[in-house]
Amino acid sequence: MVYRHILRPLLYRMDPEKAHHLAFGALRWTAALPGGKAMLRLALSPKADPALAIKVWDLEIPSPVGLAAGFDKDAIGYEALGAAGFGFVEVGTLTAHPQPGNPKPRLFRLPKDRALLNRMGFNNGGSQAAEPRLDRPRSTIVGVNIGKSKITPPAEAADDYALSAARLAPHADYLVVNVSSPNTPGLRDLQAVESLEPILRTVRETCERAVPDRRVPLLVKIAPDLADEDVDAVAELTRALDLEGVIATNTTISREGLQTNPATVRGMGNGGLSGAPLEARSLQVLRRLRSALGPEPVLVAVGGIEDPDDAWVRVQAGATLVQVYTSYVYEGPYLPRRLAHGLGRRAKDAGFARVQDAVGTAVASPGVREAMAQSRDIS
């Protein structure tokens, strides 16, 4: 109520990027007060509940609802965001070289579509600067998302990713190779298997060297704009390289089906669209991945998840974890708790003791559905 009727209208009067910095700054400031994190937890976190906890990759994640990459690009506020109700926080995208990103304005609201359009261009202080901020004890599960620096030519992409992996894998609960942002020229071409394979192999080897005593879960994050055959090719590569997961999806370059005036949308320029218009395609990609991959590995669903029903559909379609970004901006600070409690309620109503038991229960292929049930029984 307070967010929707007082804070949101105030934030909406501001430039979207300024509003982001103000809101995120206020959250970090609150968390830094004596007792601030406890206060945030009390006000915003879901009730600690074994039915919500997800056991995956040797981690116990308190809630399946996480914050997607791009909100905390420089890993400056993950503890505050964890206290504010996210079960896990994905920081980044971080690049090997610090970079300013694209000229402003580069973030736009489309309220009629409950969407955002961004061409931030991986603005971040670089993986070297972020390292010490991640190298400290923490109570939040943190995924680290890495991308290619703009100045690095595509032929040298693998080494660029590896440099960030060497710095950050030791501090990552999981590591994400992001090849799907539309805002770094040529980046999405790296999703082609011939380009992606050497990158993922190099990053895996780097992780093994940098973190010899632990297998760092390695995931790849893909675009919703891939053709179905390319989604299948990524699935095949995921299996061949024994990756721990796929994140589906990043933002889309499509502008189809928007309610916002087309001239207004054109005026905003290039960029990736996120939020409600992405929902259907993200879900399709998730389903395609699940049926191509079988029961393993873990899928993380992101793109247009706005309410508990959306999150529940993704879980049943085979996502072990879900993430949000745009709906957090529109719905405000109670969203992570609302989604987590809603998932817990839906799982119980459907006869499952835990949300995790419902993962993949509505997968269309009976073979994959049964294999998922079996792998759940074993774990």
d(CA 337, CA 47): 8
d(CA 311, CA 306): 8
Closest to ligand FMN by CB, 73 or 167? 73
- Parallel, antiparallel, or unpaired for β 272-275 and 115-118? antiparallel
Asked whether 92 and 68 are in contact (CB, 8 A), the reply is: no
DSSP 58: T
* By the rule CB under 6 A, 334 interacts with ligand FMN: no
Residue whose entry in the numeric block shows the structure tokens 């996480």 = 66
Asked whether 258 and 113 are in contact (CB, 8 A), the reply is: yes
Least distance to ligand FMN, CB of residue 161, Å: 13
Residues 94-153 close enough to bind ligand FMN by CB under 6 A: 107, 116, 118, 120, 122, 145
Give residue 97's Cα distance to chain centre. Answer: 22
Closest to ligand FMN by CB, 91 or 372? 91
* By the rule CB under 6 A, 45 interacts with ligand FMN: no
Indicate which single residue of 152, 260, 327, 356 sits in contact with ligand FMN (rule: CB under 6 A). Answer: 327
Question: Does an H or E element contain 324, and which?
Answer: strand 321-324
* By the rule CB under 6 A, 278 interacts with ligand FMN: yes
d(CA 69, CA 94): 10
Given the residues 63, 181, 274, 282, select the one marked as catalytic.
181
Least distance to ligand FMN, CB of residue 154, Å: 18
The mark string for 149-188 relative to ligand FMN (x by CB under 6 A, - otherwise) is -----------------------------x--x-------
Greatest extent of the chain over all pairs of C-alpha atoms, in Å: 55
Least distance to ligand FMN, CB of residue 251, Å: 5
Residue whose entry in the numeric block shows the structure tokens 């799907």 = 180
Active site residue 181: yes
Give residue 342's Cα distance to chain centre. Answer: 20
* By the rule CB under 6 A, 325 interacts with ligand FMN: yes
Residues 226-245 close enough to bind ligand FMN by CB under 6 A: none
Indicate which single residue of 53, 56, 61, 69 sits in contact with ligand FMN (rule: CB under 6 A). Answer: 69
Letter for the amino acid at 211?
V
Q: Would you tell me which residues interact with ligand FMN (CB under 6 A)? A: 68-70, 73, 92-93, 107, 116, 118, 120, 122, 145, 178, 181, 221, 250-251, 274-275, 278, 302-305, 324-327
Positions marked active-site:
181
